Amino acid sequence: MNLKLVSRDGGLMSPLSWIADALQDLKSQGLLRRRRVTQVLPEGWCEVDGRRVLDCASNDYLNLAGDARVIAAAVEALRSTSIGARASPLVCGRSPWHERLEHRIACFEAQPDALLFPTGMAANVGTIAALCGAEDLILCDRANHASLVDGCRLSQAKFRVYRHDDLLTLEHELRKDSGVRRRWIVTDSVFSMDGDVAPLQQLCDIAERCGAELIVDEAHGTGVLGENGRGACEALGVEHRVAVRIGTLSKAVGAQGGFVAGHPDLIDYLWNRARSQVYSTALSPAVCAAATAALDIIAAEPWRRTRLEAASEFFRTQLRIAGVETVFSSTGPIVPVILRDPNAAVELAAQLEQRGFLVGSIRPPTVPRDTSRLRIVVTTAHQDEDLARLATAIREELGKAGLQPGDRRSRPKP
Ligand SMILES: *Cc1c(COP(=O)(O)O)cnc(C)c1O
């Protein structure tokens, strides 16, 4: 061991002394995150710190991550090829499993072509940075996922953030700049922390009025919304009006990876120019096989989506009966309970864990200040009895702590 790193009392000394202060700072603001280990159990359960808890924190909406058929597909691919893809897809990492998955995604999305990325984050960052440039103007909803924001920053385009769903400001800002090459609107289709659906029809109207194009991230829409599970764009009938649609294979699809589906020119351009897939090793072939099998299941078993909708509605009703407020515009499986104070969110999540429920506690910078929250995710695997018990547990723990959840839009108490 490097002796310089050991202090007199034998403790480890950080080579960057300011980091200890920065961590202390985070801790005093209630923003320090702990690393934990979660062991997945069947049917929507998991084990954390030796306790079996209902998993209401992951994004495995359709309960496919552990599906025997999905895992069998991965094992079969593993048996006949390598674990790693060994190179960037552009060099020699694109295997028959990658090609099959891209084809499967294109069919699923009813688009002529599709391109894989190592993750959904890489798809967002790489696609926006490849399509938008310094002469462009991007308008970005304030509630957009961090990976969209990072893509906008990386693109070096002029980049403005509008208040969540503030369409008047959006249109005003889009019209302001005259010397702009191209205008873009970038948005989540389902907002990951509020669970509400973007007003995509109005966004398309504004884009058309202002000569802008839309980039939509369907991370929480794919598999969940729409007649065929293609997401919010399908559900709202705007697929043909959205220039670029990005998705992830890591949420409802239960696997890993990101994708863009669309016109062959768009796909060819991203294949050549999207640095996050050009300069990163391709997905594992086993993951591609798993995602392909999962998309087959999503297409063949629409009951999963129907059950998810019913379970989400059931849980929301139970919360309403219990008098627990959520974000009023939110629908579907992402259920936020806004507590404002980060420590309160962490405390409440810990109490719920004691009672057998794993829920996310989400704090800044993931959400704006004073909107720390529980983020509860309903999945196809959850049973009504368990969801009803969770709603009761939330009401009781809120009562014990003297907390009153509020809507995202209400002002924090002084
Ligand atoms: C999770 C998420 C991503 C990133 O997807 P990964 O496949 O996990 O990298 C992108 N956008 C949104 C809105 C997300 O919630």
Q: Is the pLDDT of residue 407 over 90?
A: no
The per-residue pLDDT of the chain, averaged, comes to 94
Q: Which of 248, 276, 280, 366 to mutate to test the pocket of ligand 1 (most atoms within 8 A of CB)?
A: 248
Q: Are 212 and 176 in contact (CB under 8 A)?
A: no
Return the amino acid letter for 245: R
Interatomic CA distance for residues 296 and 137, integer angstroms: 38
Question: What does the buried/exposed string (b/e) look like for 74-86 if buried means 16 or more CB atoms within 10 Å of the residue's CB?
Answer: beebbeebeeebe
- Strand spans (E) along 33-190: 38-40, 45-48, 51-56, 113-117, 137-141, 158-162, 183-188
Interatomic CA distance for residues 61 and 291, integer angstroms: 14
Cβ neighbours, 10 Å, residue 49:
9
Q: Which of 147, 233, 244, 287 to mutate to test the pocket of ligand 1 (most atoms within 8 A of CB)?
A: 147
Interatomic CA distance for residues 83 and 283, integer angstroms: 10
Interatomic CA distance for residues 47 and 206, integer angstroms: 47
Q: Is the pLDDT of residue 340 over 60?
A: yes
Q: Which atom of ligand 1 is nearest to the CA of 191?
A: 13
Provide the pLDDT for residue 15.
81
Confidence grade of residue 11 (pLDDT, cut at 50, 70, 90): confident
Provide the pLDDT for residue 5.
61
Interatomic CA distance for residues 278 and 5, integer angstroms: 38
Interatomic CA distance for residues 42 and 67, integer angstroms: 9
Ranking 13-22, 246-255, 293-302 by mean pLDDT, the lowest is 13-22
Q: Is the pLDDT of residue 4 over 80?
A: no
Provide the pLDDT for residue 12.
77
Q: Is the pLDDT of residue 10 over 80?
A: no
Provide the pLDDT for residue 329.
87
Pairing state between β 183-188 and 158-162: unpaired
Q: Is the pLDDT of residue 23 over 60?
A: yes
Q: What does each C-alpha distance from 128 to 62, 156, 231, 402 come to in angstroms?
A: 28, 10, 20, 44
Domains of the chain are 30-59+303-408 (3.90.1150.10), 68-300 (3.40.640.10)
Interatomic CA distance for residues 74 and 67, integer angstroms: 11
User: Which protein residue's CA is at the shortest distance from atom 2 of ligand 1?
Assistant: 219
Tokens 């499986």 — which residue? 333
Known catalytic residue at 251:
yes
Question: What does the buried/exposed string (b/e) look like for 174-199 if buried means 16 or more CB atoms within 10 Å of the residue's CB?
Answer: beeeeebeebbbbbbbbbbbbbbbbe
Beta bridge partners of 359: 56
User: Which protein residue's CA is at the shortest distance from atom 5 of ligand 1?
Assistant: 120
Structure tokens at 341: 């104070």
Which is the catalytic residue, given 98, 145, 251, 382? 251
Residues 6+ apart with CB under 8 A from 379: 44, 55, 56, 58, 60, 61, 62, 63, 308, 311, 333
Q: Is the pLDDT of residue 57 over 90?
A: yes
List all residues whose CB is within 6 A of at least one atom of ligand 1: 119-121, 124, 145, 147, 188, 192, 217, 219-220, 248, 250, 258
Q: Is the pLDDT of residue 13 over 60?
A: yes
Beta bridge partners of 338: 373, 406
Q: Which of 105, 148, 217 to mutate to test the pocket of ligand 1 (most atoms within 8 A of CB)?
A: 217
Looking at the chain, the whole-number percentage of residues with pLDDT higher than 90 is 88
Provide the pLDDT for residue 414.
35
Provide the pLDDT for residue 409.
52
> For residue 17, with 0-12 CB atoms within 10 Å meaning exposed, 13-18 middle and 19 or more buried, which class applies?
exposed
pLDDT, tens only, 138-185: 999 999 999 999 999 999 999 999 999 999 999 999 998 778 999 999
Q: What does each C-alpha distance from 287 to 58, 223, 279 come to in angstroms?
A: 18, 17, 19
Beta bridge partners of 186: 140, 215
Q: Is the pLDDT of residue 40 over 60?
A: yes
Interatomic CA distance for residues 289 and 275, integer angstroms: 24
Interatomic CA distance for residues 285 and 181, integer angstroms: 39
Known catalytic residue at 220:
yes
For residue 122, the CA-to-ligand 1 centroid distance in Å is 9
Confidence grade of residue 412 (pLDDT, cut at 50, 70, 90): very low
Interatomic CA distance for residues 269 and 253, integer angstroms: 26
